[in-house]
């Protein structure tokens, strides 16, 4: 059975890994599952669902059969976690194209600004419970 809430992220990006750490801490119900876009599992899943493999320039969020990307993925994740509702509601007033433009600028410069790991499996040391949150 496939999970209902999957966050696909760039596993070598330090900013992306820090963001996943934040989501793990915020997700009290442990509903989110995570996978690096570089993993074979992620690429196989994406090819099966989207009929293509993806690059690593965006976050993808899979929720109940629907994919979201870029700023919309971020908004949907926080909405599903019921976190930062007021803040995300304010950002929702900004046109989607502008939010995606800002997201793309950050994504394009993330390695320069925050650095990157050599290996996509180099994120935080996971507890046994946290290991169950990752799909590999």
Question: Distance between CA atoms of 69 and 32, rounded to whole angstroms?
Answer: 16
Instruction: List, for residues 10-68, the tens digit of each pLDDT value.
Output: 989 999 999 999 999 999 999 999 999 989 999 999 999 988 776 777 899 999 999 99
Mean pLDDT value across the chain: 89
Question: Distance between CA atoms of 44 and 61, rounded to whole angstroms?
Answer: 15
User: What global pTM score does this model have?
Assistant: 0.89
Band of residue 1 on the pLDDT scale cut at 50, 70, 90: confident
The rounded radius of gyration (Å) of the Cα atoms in the chain is 14
pLDDT at 122: 60
């Amino acid at each position: 059975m496939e999970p209902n809430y999957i966050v696909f992220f760039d596993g070598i990006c330090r900013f992306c890994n820090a963001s996943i750490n934040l989501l793990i801490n915020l997700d009290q119900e442990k509903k989110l599952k995570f996978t690096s876009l570089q993993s074979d599992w992620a690429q196989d899943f994406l090819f099966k669902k989207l009929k293509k493999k993806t690059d690593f320039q965006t976050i993808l969020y899979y929720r109940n059969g629907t994919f979201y990307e870029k700023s919309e993925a971020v908004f949907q994740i926080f909405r599903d976690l019921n976190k930062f509702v007021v803040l995300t509601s304010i950002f929702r007033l900004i046109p989607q194209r502008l939010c995606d433009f800002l997201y793309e600028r950050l994504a394009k410069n993330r390695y320069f600004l925050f650095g990157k790991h050599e290996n996509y499996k180099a994120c935080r040391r996971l507890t046994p419970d946290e290991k169950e949150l990752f799909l590999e």
